[in-house]
A = this chain, B = another copy of it.
Amino acid sequence: MVGDKAKVASDCPQPTGCTVCSVVADRADGCLWPDATAISEASARRFSVPSDRVVTGEGVQPAAVWIVQSGLLRVQRYSFDGRRQILSLVLPGEVVGYDLQGRDGLVVESATPCTLCQIDRRLFEKRMEDSSDVRRAMYLQQLNQLDRLRWLTWAIGVLTPEERLCAFLALATRFMPFEALPEGGGVLTIQISRADIADLLGTTVESISRITHRLQDEGCLEIHNPERFRIVDLQRLIEMGQIEPTFAGLPFQGNPPSKPLVSAGRGRGKAKPGEPEMTAINASGRTPKIVLQ
């Protein structure tokens, strides 16, 4: 199983480009070290990590930040009674460890076998301070992670477990191994365990199992084996999962969509009638421009 998982992880799109630690996503906004030479080899170390190991988090002295080279990390937190919520998955090319300075009960673990690149925190911070390019890259990466966290919050809050799982599967085609098939759809390799999916989506392994089998009955997908699905009707998953075509948190990693993902129109709250709008309290005495309806 572990061996198999490891194989799968290595199937993951292998980013290349950064000469220092071979870590760079091949997406336009993901290149973390545009001028890679600035970090010497000595300051970056690569590690191979099996599944379910603590990488960094609360108790750990955050002397280092980590870049995911391959595999997936999970950021998680427990409740007193042991219930776990996974707050995000960290994708290849992404940095972790600089913004969770031990607060909360946040812990980062490997969700799959991973290769990680370790960088000294001081050095990282200096790079951030010195280079506006690095800052910009980090900023864009943070935006993506923030988008994903917002998505997750929204999904857990308003979607049913079934809708969440549909969304997850549809999105997973963007960041897990997915071989598109000529006859449509494709084969998706689920790299993480049922328990991780359940704790990410705020549901249970039993529900995950039931829902996937229900989706199979409905013809949305075929369960080849527990970690390999044939996605038959991706469009339907996208619709059920209410995925917006503009969702930016998951730039496609090696699996750009053949056709743009289109979603059904969006529901909105009742539009407020015009009525009294903003009123300026203008110290400078100018007539304020009312900016938006």
Contact = CB atoms under 8 A, between A and B. Distances in A.
A157 interface: yes
Contacts of A48: 278-281
A246 B276 CA distance: 42
A60 interface: yes
Interface stretch (A6-14, A25-33, A79-87, A220-228): A79-87
Contacts of A202: 156-158
A268 interface: yes
Given A46-B281, A104-B247, A278-B49, A266 B156 contact: no
A266 to B, nearest CB: 6
A272 interface: yes
A54 B292 contact: yes
Contacts of A286: 42, 45
Interface range for A:
35 or more
Interface stretch (A147-155, A174-182, A251-259): A147-155
Contacts of A157: 85, 156, 199, 202
Interface string A236-255: 00000010101110000000
A131 interface: no
Interface string A65-85: 000000000000111111111
Given A46-B283, A153-B87, A246 B293 contact: no
Given A83-B158, A157-B202, A248-B103, A149 B149 contact: yes
Going nearest first, the 3 A-B pairs with the smallest beta carbon separation are: A85-B157, A157-B202, A83-B158
8 contacts: A46-B282, A55-B292, A60-B291, A77-B150, A104-B244, A152-B153, A153-B153, A156-B202
